[in-house]
């Protein structure tokens, strides 16, 4: 009965409830639509910004190519990159950057800055060449008279792409399209000189939110392979000179000591962790066979994916050097030349960069470039991959094999979240540090790959300026990766080895 009496009241309440529910749903829907619309508008804006940046980099390509080939021609060795650094500094200053030169006690190191406030995004630039690799830009081995340096690692492209990407970002900051600070780091002597380690040690990467880098290669991929730690030194032995035939008993050979050390190091190979790499060159082995050498020098690299192992094996090499001196009656001293960490990968940043690499694509060659490439490939030992591989992009994946290379970028990766890529600047199958790499780098085969790198780095930077949540996530991953480790340079507190190429 009561229910019957209350029915009209109940119906009215139901109506009110239904209206409220409808209203709530409607306003939720509107809010949701507004958010979606905002998101769409933001992503459209971001895409437009990226398109504009790609056009900017296409427009600066001719000038960038000229810069890269000029530095390819300078081919200056580690810490002697005076003209190469000056050219980059000039371009950055003309574009409006303020440039601090001679940083970390290195005349050819610089930091170029534009903008203010956060985020602070850094881009690394390298420009040193390798000794003994002078080569014409032709598809057969042809050295250049009177020249020693050659860009066998493509650092002439490296520096130029990084400066170009930095300048593109600077324009966006200037036009208030993005807010924050862009820094281009001029990093000398990557090849053995560990230039960046001094810049890290002296605090030049403090307060930087993320660092972007790249490296010339024979493929296109975001780097998910760690670089291996490396500790290097020059071991010097002093003996006693004497006539090698008339009074050998009065001599003590410094070269004997070098040979004894090398013999012990070579036997040691059987008793060290598998992935260790030990290599050496005799940088001074005496001057004449009829003079017992009173001075000899050997330059060693010791590498391993784990820096503790590299350091441990390095220490064993120094013990062997002491033993070699004792056994040959000579005196030994050594100078640590370089030391670099293993690379700390940042997956968050790598995923972001992969999206942008997919946008900028690989490299395609003209018929003339393909013919050049076929000749280059004909000089390889073993089979070469298809030339068309240069147009493909490797999927993002952590590769278990740590690869063989080392880089001072690794030290940066232990103080700032860091991400990098490789692009095809050399014909597929080409080894770094070879005459083939120098030859490709001196042509448009190299500069085309450089443009892909500049574009990918600039787009990744734009994302970082626009996505604080990604930076946050990258930082969390970084903190976890570093763990309780307190960064300590493997080369200790030595001053930059400015004369290591003498
Ligand atoms: Zn390199």
- In tens, the pLDDT along 63-84 reads 999 999 999 999 999 999 999 9
Of 198-207, 235-244, 389-398, 423-432, give the lowest mean pLDDT range: 389-398
Determine contact, residues 133/150, Cβ cutoff 8 Å.
Answer: yes
Q: How far is the CA of 153 from the centre of ligand 1 (A)?
A: 4
Instruction: Label residue 2 by pLDDT band (50, 70, 90).
Output: very low
The CA distance from 411 to 419, in Å, is 13
Q: What is the pLDDT of residues 280-296, one digit of tens each?
A: 999 999 999 999 999 99
Q: How far is the CA of 217 from the centre of ligand 1 (A)?
A: 9
Q: How many residues does the chain have?
A: 502
Q: Which residue has the tokens 């409006």?
A: 96
Q: Are strands 110-115 and 98-101 parallel, antiparallel or unpaired?
A: antiparallel
The CA distance from 57 to 361, in Å, is 14
User: How confident is the model at residue 361, as a pLDDT?
Assistant: 81
pLDDT of 274 over the 50 cut:
yes
User: How confident is the model at residue 289, as a pLDDT?
Assistant: 97
Q: What is the pLDDT of residues 365-383, one digit of tens each?
A: 999 999 999 999 999 998 9
Which DSSP string do the residues of 158-207 spell out, in sequence order?
HHHHHHHHHHHHHHHHHTTSS-SEEEEEEE--HHHH-HHHHHHHTTTTTT
pLDDT of 434 over the 90 cut:
yes
Q: How far is the CA of 272 from the centre of ligand 1 (A)?
A: 27
User: How confident is the model at residue 16, as a pLDDT?
Assistant: 65
- Cα dihedral 373, 378, 379, 385 in deg (nearest 10): 70
Q: Which residue has the tokens 């990226």?
A: 50
The CA distance from 439 to 138, in Å, is 6
Angle between helices 155-174 and 2-74 (to 10 degrees): 130
Is 0.85 surpassed by the pTM of this model? yes
Mean pLDDT for the stretch of residues 462-471:
97
pLDDT of 401 over the 70 cut:
no
SS (H, E, C) 331-378: EEEEEEEEEECCCCCCHHHHHHHHHHHHHHCCCCCCHHHHHHHHHHHH
Q: How far is the CA of 166 from the centre of ligand 1 (A)?
A: 20
Mean pLDDT estimate for the chain: 94
Q: How far is the CA of 315 from the centre of ligand 1 (A)?
A: 26
**Structure-token pair, residue 300:** 């060693």
Percent of the chain at pLDDT exceeding 90: 88
Instruction: Label residue 1 by pLDDT band (50, 70, 90).
Output: very low
CB-facing half-sphere around the CA of 92: CA atoms within 13 A: 31
Residue 499 zone, left/alpha/beta (φ > 0; ψ -120 to 50; rest): alpha
Determine contact, residues 353/222, Cβ cutoff 8 Å.
Answer: yes
Which DSSP string do the residues of 414-435 spell out, in sequence order?
TTS-EEEEEEE-S-TTPPTTSH
User: How confident is the model at residue 339, as a pLDDT?
Assistant: 96
Give, in order, the Cα–Cα distances in Å from 287 to each of 40, 47, 297: 72, 64, 12
Percent of the chain at pLDDT exceeding 70: 92
Q: How far is the CA of 191 from the centre of ligand 1 (A)?
A: 7
Q: How far is the CA of 248 from the centre of ligand 1 (A)?
A: 45
What three-state secondary structure class fits 305?
Answer: coil
Angle between helices 444-466 and 367-378 (to 10 degrees): 110
Q: How far is the CA of 490 from the centre of ligand 1 (A)?
A: 19
Q: How far is the CA of 347 from the centre of ligand 1 (A)?
A: 22
User: How confident is the model at residue 4, as a pLDDT?
Assistant: 47
pLDDT of 5 over the 60 cut:
no
**Cα–Cα nearest to 417, from 477, 373, 331, 357:** 477
User: How confident is the model at residue 3, as a pLDDT?
Assistant: 46
Alpha-carbon Rg for the chain, nearest whole angstrom, is: 28
User: How confident is the model at residue 37, as a pLDDT?
Assistant: 74
Going 444 to 445 to 450 to 451, the CA torsion angle's sign is positive
Q: What is the pLDDT of residues 112-165, one digit of tens each?
A: 999 999 999 999 999 999 999 999 999 999 999 999 999 999 999 999 999 999
Q: What is the pLDDT of residues 92-125, one digit of tens each?
A: 999 999 999 999 999 999 999 999 999 999 999 9
CB-facing half-sphere around the CA of 95: CA atoms within 13 A: 28
Q: How far is the CA of 189 from the centre of ligand 1 (A)?
A: 10
User: How confident is the model at residue 432, as a pLDDT?
Assistant: 95
Mean pLDDT for the stretch of residues 247-256:
98
Ion ligand 1: residues, Cβ under 5 Å: 153
Going 66 to 72 to 76 to 78, the CA torsion angle's sign is positive
User: How confident is the model at residue 28, as a pLDDT?
Assistant: 65
């Amino acid at each position: 009965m009561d229910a019957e009496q209350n029915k009209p009241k109940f119906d009215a309440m139901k109506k009110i409830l239904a209206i409220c529910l409808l209203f709530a749903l409607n306003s939720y829907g509107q809010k949701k639509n507004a958010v979606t619309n905002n998101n769409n508008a933001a992503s459209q804006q971001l895409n437009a910004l990226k398109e504009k940046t790609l056009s900017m980099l296409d427009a600066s390509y001719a000038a960038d190519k000229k810069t890269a080939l000029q530095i390819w021609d300078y081919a200056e060795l580690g810490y002697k990159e005076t003209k190469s650094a000056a050219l980059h500094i000039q371009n950055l200053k003309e574009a409006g950057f303020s440039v601090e030169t001679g940083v970390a006690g290195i005349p050819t190191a610089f930091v170029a800055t534009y903008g203010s406030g956060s985020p602070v995004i850094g881009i690394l630039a390298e420009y040193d060449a390798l000794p003994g690799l002078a080569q014409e830009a032709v598809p057969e081995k042809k050295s250049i008279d009177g020249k020693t340096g050659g860009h066998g690692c493509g650092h002439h492209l490296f520096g130029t792409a990084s400066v170009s990407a930095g300048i593109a970002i600077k324009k966006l900051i200037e036009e208030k399209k993005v807010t924050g600070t862009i820094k281009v780091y001029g990093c000398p002597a990557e090849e053995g000189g560990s230039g960046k380690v001094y810049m890290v040690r002296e605090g030049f990467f403090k307060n930087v939110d993320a660092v972007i880098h790249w490296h010339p290669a024979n493929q296109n991929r975001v780097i998910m392979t760690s670089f291996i730690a490396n500790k290097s030194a020059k071991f010097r032995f002093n003996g006693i000179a004497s006539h090698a035939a008339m009074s050998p008993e009065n001599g003590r050979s410094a070269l004997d000591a070098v040979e004894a050390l090398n013999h012990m190091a070579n036997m040691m190979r059987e008793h060290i962790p598998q992935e260790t790499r030990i290599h050496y060159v005799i940088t001074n082995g005496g001057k004449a066979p009829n003079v017992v050498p009173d001075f000899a020098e050997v330059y060693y690299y010791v590498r391993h994916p784990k820096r503790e192992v590299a350091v441990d094996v390095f220490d064993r090499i120094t013990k062997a050097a002491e033993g070699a001196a004792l056994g040959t009656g000579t005196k030994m001293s050594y100078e640590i030349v370089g030391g670099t960490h293993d690379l700390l990968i940042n997956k968050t940043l790598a995923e972001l960069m992969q999206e942008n690499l997919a946008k900028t694509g690989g490299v395609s060659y003209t018929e003339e470039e393909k013919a050049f490439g076929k000749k280059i490939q004909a000089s390889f030992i073993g089979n070469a991959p298809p030339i068309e591989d240069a147009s493909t992009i490797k999927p993002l994946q952590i590769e278990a094999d740590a690869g063989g290379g080392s880089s001072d970028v690794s030290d940066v990766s232990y103080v700032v979240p860091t991400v990098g890529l490789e692009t095809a600047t050399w014909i597929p199958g080409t080894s770094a540090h070879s005459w083939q790499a120098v030859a490709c780098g001196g042509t448009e085969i190299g500069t085309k790959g450089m443009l892909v790198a500049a574009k990918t780095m600039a787009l990744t930077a734009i994302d970082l300026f626009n996505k604080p949540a990604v930076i946050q996530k990258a930082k969390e991953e970084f903190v976890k990766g570093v763990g309780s480790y307190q960064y300590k340079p493997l080369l200790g507190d030595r001053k930059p080895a400015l004369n290591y190429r003498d």
